[in-house]
Amino acid sequence: MGKTIKEENMGHVSIQALSKSYTEKRRRARSVNGNGSYERGEQMLVLDEINLEFANGEMVCILGPSGCGKSTLVRILAGFEQGTSGRVFIDGKEVCGPSSEHVFVFQYSGLLPWLTVWGNVCLGVRKMKEKEKMAERVQQNIDIVGLTGFEHLYPHQLSGGMQRRAELARALVVNPDILFMDEPFAGLDFLTRVNLREEIINMHILIKKTIIFITHDIDEALVMGDRLVVFSDRPAKVKLALPLDFSHPRDFAKTPALSDLRKEIYSVLGVHYAL
Partner 1 sequence: MIVERAKRILVPLLVFVGAGFLWELCYLLSGWRIEVFPDPLRVAASMWELIANGTLLQHTVASLFRVTVGFYLAVLLGIPLGMILGWWKGGQMAFNSLIQFLRPISPLAWIPLTMLWFGIGDKPAIFLIFLSSFFPLIVSTVVAVNRINSTYLRVAANFNLSKVETFTKIIFPATLPTLLPALRIGVGIAWLVVVAAEMIAVKSGLGYLILDSRNALRIDFVMDAMAVIGVIGIGLDRMISQLNKIEAVFGEDH
| Sites of contact with partner 1 (CB under 8 A) | 78-80, 97-100, 102-104, 106, 108, 110, 112-114, 123-124, 154-157, 174
| Least distance (Å) between residue 156 CB and partner 1 | 3
Beta strand 59-63 with 210-215 is: parallel
Dihedral sign of CA atoms 260, 12, 197, 238 in order: positive
**Taking a C-beta distance cutoff of 8 angstroms, is the pair 204, 14 a contact?**
no
| Least distance (Å) between residue 125 CB and partner 1 | 9
**Cβ proximity to partner 1, 113 vs 256, nearer residue:** 113
Detail the DSSP E strand segments found in 65-101: 85-90, 93-94
**Cβ proximity to partner 1, 109 vs 232, nearer residue:** 109
Paired residues of 85 in beta bridges: 19
| Least distance (Å) between residue 169 CB and partner 1 | 13
**Cβ proximity to partner 1, 2 vs 97, nearer residue:** 97
d(CA 21, CA 85): 9
**Cβ proximity to partner 1, 70 vs 102, nearer residue:** 102
d(CA 48, CA 17): 8
Residues 6+ away with beta carbon under 8 Å from 62 = 70, 73, 74, 212, 213, 214, 215, 221, 229, 231
| Least distance (Å) between residue 171 CB and partner 1 | 9
| Least distance (Å) between residue 110 CB and partner 1 | 5
**Cβ proximity to partner 1, 37 vs 107, nearer residue:** 107
| Least distance (Å) between residue 35 CB and partner 1 | 27
**Cβ proximity to partner 1, 78 vs 196, nearer residue:** 78
| Least distance (Å) between residue 141 CB and partner 1 | 14
**Cβ proximity to partner 1, 1 vs 275, nearer residue:** 1
Neighbour-count burial of 34, counting CB atoms closer than 10 A to its CB (0-12 exposed, 13-18 middle, 19+ buried): exposed
**Taking a C-beta distance cutoff of 8 angstroms, is the pair 20, 46 a contact?**
yes
**Taking a C-beta distance cutoff of 8 angstroms, is the pair 78, 232 a contact?**
no
239 φ/ψ sector (left φ>0, alpha ψ -120 to 50, else beta): alpha
